[in-house]
Amino acid sequence: MQETNQEKNIQIVAEWIQAARHAVALTGAGISTPSGIPDFRSPGTGLWERNNPLEVASWRAFRHHPQRFFDWLRPLVAKSWHATPNPAHFALADLQKAGYLQAIITQNIDNLHQRAGATRVIELHGSLRTLTCLNCQRQYQIEVFIEPFIRGVPPRCPNCRAFLKPDIVLFEEMLPIEAWEEALAHCEKADLLLVIGSSLEVMPAAQLPLYTLEHGGRIVINTLSPTYLDRDAALVLRQNVLEVIPHVAARVLGQRSA
């Protein structure tokens, strides 16, 4: 049977992963959309289709219009809380466990990489797992507040009754410095960077592949939308991540792909 171009590309990526000294993955919203979590920019379904992010997802919105902020956040939290990892999440976790993937850098806040079994996950934009009171600086696990929040009750600090801020990076906020420095170090060291499900539009995360290129590494892009680095990529796979990543991992690990 003649091998298709997609099968050839999957084999090429698998061989690059096997040969890499320091392979790293950078994931965006596109790896979690098959789990039912909407991305931000897809026509018709993106989270920014009906809302200006600066009006609902910014530091200013949280401080001055908390009800608007929480009303916007609630559906995303509900979908993330009830979502389960998909085969692409499990494939990356398996590659990491087998020693082929040195780190997973993610722009996502849904915790699905960790729930799939990945351990070295660098969260550039924070996580929905915890909330912090900006008044008394106490931090809480989201489990205590999740069900009331989904029903419409914004989370308040049990100590001082101030609104709790989810530990995610909002517009007008800086990225957590430790996460950024760790991600940067991995990308500079990477001889192979897999960009998975990211349109590479959100800065500064979108700059990370440049550091891999500048240090002589190759990048592979698997996302449905064009990116500004398509011409610089060693390979671009314009397919759904579920059609690529599980099959790549199966080739690398010597398994039969689904």
List the single range of 51-65, 135-149, 230-244 with lowest mean pLDDT: 51-65
125 carries an active-site annotation: yes
List C-alpha distances in Å: 105 to 7, 158, 183, 212: 26, 33, 6, 13
pTM value? Answer: 0.90
d(CA 90, CA 97): 10
Choosing from 89, 113, 125, 247, which is the catalytic residue?
125
pLDDT, position 226: 95
Average pLDDT over residues 15-23: 98
pLDDT exceeds cutoff 80 at 158: yes
Q: 107-152, pLDDT tens digit by residue?
A: 999 999 999 999 999 999 999 999 999 999 999 999 999 999 999 9
Domains belonging to the chain, first-starting first, are 1-37+85-125+174-253 (3.40.50.1220), 40-82+128-168 (3.30.1600.10)
**What residues contact residue 253 under an 8 Å CB cut-off, 6+ apart?**
94, 95, 98
User: Which pLDDT score is estimated for 91?
Assistant: 98
